[in-house]
Chain A
Amino acid sequence: MLETKQLRKSFKDGGTETHVLKGVDFLANDGEFISIMGRSGAGKSTFLYQMSLLDDPTGGEVIIDGHDTHLMTPEEKMHFRLRKFGYVFQDYALLPELTAVENVALPLMMAGKTKQQAYKEAEVALTRMKLGHRLGNLPSQLSGGEQQRTSIARAVAHTPKILFADEPTANLDNESSRIVMDIFKELHAAGQTIIMVTHEEEFAKQAERIVRLDDGRITSDERMRSV
C-alpha cells in the first residue's frame, strides 16, 4: 500500500517559487493499476517522482507499507528503489553500452544475485517480453518498442512491489504502444501494482483507476472497473 498525505512540492527559480504539488492525498492499494492523468504542467510526473522516491517532497508524507519515507536515509531509499520499485521511463532509459540482457541483469546483480543467476532471470524476463532473440543486442540495435519492452523487463525482473511508469507510450507508435499496454495488463492480472502517468486517454482507460491532477491537486479519482 502506498499513501501520500498532504504531499507538496515546490521549485525555486531565483526569487520565484512555483508550487507544483499543493497537498496531494492519495492511496494506492496493492495490486491496483492506476493511471495518473492531467494536462501538461499539472504535476503528474512530479507526483510520480515523489511517490517513487526519485525526488524529495517539499512537505507532506509518502508512506509505503507503513514506512514513512521521509524518515529514510538516502541509502535506505536507494535500497527501497532497488528492491521494491520498478521504473519505466518515457525515453526507455537503457544504458547504451549494455546489451538488453545486461541492462536487465544489472539491478538484479546489485540486489546481490550472482552474475549467472542475474543473467538467467534477465533472460526469463526478456523472453516474457518476447525479446528472447534480442538478448545480446545493444539498445541502439533495438526499435523503440523493443527498447521499451527491455525497460519493462528491467523494471519487473526482480518482481517489484510497485511498478512506476512515466509516459511509457509517449515515444512509441500505436502498435508498440498497444503491445506495451498489453504487457501492463498482463502484469496487473498477475497481481502487479502499477502506477502510470500518461496523457493519452485511450491508454489511461486500460487501468482500473484514473486519478486526474490539475494545478497540483487531485481533481478526480475515478474507478473504471472493479478489481
Chain B
Amino acid sequence: MWSWLNVRIGFFLATRQLRRASLWTTSLIIFVMVLTFLNLVVVSGILVGLMQGAIDAVRTKYTSDVIVSTLDDKRYIENAPSVISLIKTLPEVEALSARYRQGGTLEANYKTRKDSDKPNTAPAVVVGINPEEENSVTGIAGDLIEGEFLAPGDYDKVVLGNYLLTQYFPIETPGFTTLDNVGIGTKIRLSVGDVTREVEVKGIIKSKVDEIAMRAFMVDSQMRSLIGRTDGNVAEIAVHVTPGTDPAVVRDAILLRGVGQYAKVQTFEDAQPKFLRDIINMFNMLGAGFSSIGLVVASITIFIVIFINAITRRKYIGILKGIGIHGRAIEYSYAFQSIFYAVIGSGIGLALVYGALVPLFLAHPINFPFSDGILVAPLGQTMFRVALLIVSTVIAGYIPAWMIIRKNTLDSILGR
C-alpha cells in the first residue's frame, strides 16, 4: 500500500546509505550511468547528425528557408520580377537571392589540345547571381578555398564548385567528368546552349552540397547576356526569413498571393528528398536499437549492485522490519538510491552532451564525404531518454530489494 510516510522513511534511509556509501562504488555506478546515457543519446544523435548535417548544409547554402523554383514543365519562373517584388514586401523576409540557372559545359586546355586529344570538359549548372544578395542569403563567399568571390562588376569571371575540378574531386566515374589543370586565373570555355564564351576562373568554393559543388557561378548581368534573357525571369529564388519566423508561414503567405501558378514554393523541409527523411527515421531506429542494449546493460548493472547491497544488508533489512519499519519503506529506499544514480548519471551526461559534445561537434563536425556530421540531441528526445533511463533503473533497483524484503523477518535477522 502506498503511503507518504513510507516514502519519507525510504528517502531518509536512502540518503543516509548514499551519504555513507563507498565513494569509489558510488562513482563507479554513476560512471556506468553516464556511459549509458551517452550511449542512449550520442549514438543515435551522431547517426541522425550525419543526415542532419547534410540537411542543414542544403538549407544554409542552397535553399535557405524558403525556395521558390520553376514549375516542373518550365525553364524559368514566369513573372519573376513581380514575384521577387511581392516576396520583398513580406515583413518576415530578411533577404533573398534570385538565381538564373541553365545547364552548360565547361572546357579547359582547349588552346593546347590536339585534335586527337580527348576534350577536357565537364558538365555544369551555370548560375547567374547577384553576388551581394547571394552572399547575404547563403554566405557562400565563406566557402571559398581559393581565389576571390564574385563582385557585382565582374566581367567574364566565374567561381567554380569543387566537384567540377579533378584536384578536389578525383573520382573517375563513367559519364561524370571533371576539369584537369584548372586553377585561379585559368581561362575556360563556358557553353550554354549555342553560346560559348571564354571566362576566367576567379574563385573555387568547396561544398558538400551537390547543388553548390557542381555549379559555375557568374554575375547575373553576364548570365543574362549569355542566355539572352532580358525579362528578368530567374529560375530560383532563395528566401531567408527573419529569425524566429516559421518558414511555413512565409511559404503560405507567398502561395496566398498567387505565386503558385508561376512557381513551386517550398520550405527547406518540403524541398528535402524523401529518402533523406527515410534515412533519418532508419538511423533513429538503429540508434534506438543500439541504445536499448545499453539500457539493458545499465539495468543489469543496477540490478546486480542493488542485489548485492540488499543481500549483504539482509540482516539489517530484517532488523528494520523487526523494529516495525514497513517493507515498502525499505523498498523505496532502494528505489531512491537507483533514482539517485540515474539522475546524477543523466545530469552529468546532459552537461557533457549540451555543455561539451554538441558545441564540440558544431565547431568541429565529423568530416564525412557527404556531410559535416553534427550531434543531434533535441532536448525533448533527450529528456525522454533520461526518463527511460530513470524508469528502467528504478525497476532494476526495486526488484532485488523486493526479493530480499519479502523473506522472513527473523530468518533475515538471524542470517538463516
Query: Which A residues have a C-beta under 8 Å from some C-beta of B?
Result: 49, 54-55, 78-79, 81-83, 85, 87, 89, 93, 95-98, 102, 106-107, 109-112, 115, 138, 154
Contacts and interface: CB of A to CB of B under 8 A. Distances in A.
Contacts of B274: none
Nearest to B317: A95
B183 to A, nearest CB: 74
Given A93-B413, A97-B17, A106-B12, 17 more contacts: A54-B410, A54-B413, A55-B408, A55-B410, A78-B324, A82-B323, A82-B324, A87-B323, A89-B413, A95-B316, A96-B316, A97-B19, A97-B20, A106-B9, A106-B13, A107-B325, A110-B9
List 8 tightest A-B contacts by C-beta distance, closest first: A82-B324, A97-B20, A93-B319, A55-B410, A81-B324, A54-B410, A97-B16, A107-B323
A17 B321 CA distance: 27
Q: Provide the main secondary structure of the chain B interface.
A: helix
Contacts of B12: 106, 109, 115
Contacts of A82: 323-325
B329 interface: yes
Interface of B: 5, 8-9, 12-13, 16-17, 19-21, 315-316, 319-326, 329, 408-410, 413
Contacts of B408: 55
Contacts of A85: 324
A98 B9 CA distance: 13
A98 B16 contact: yes
B309 to A, nearest CB: 11
Q: Which one of A78, A85, A107, A154 has the greatest number of beta carbons of chain B within 10 Å?
A: A78
Given A49-B410, A97-B17, A110 B316 contact: no
Given A97-B16, A98-B16, A106-B12, A112 B5 contact: yes
Nearest to B9: A110
10 contacts: A49-B410, A78-B326, A79-B324, A87-B322, A97-B20, A97-B21, A106-B323, A109-B9, A112-B5, A138-B20
Contacts of B20: 96-97, 138
Contact of A107 (B13, B315, B324): B324
B332 to A, nearest CB: 12
A138 B17 CA distance: 12
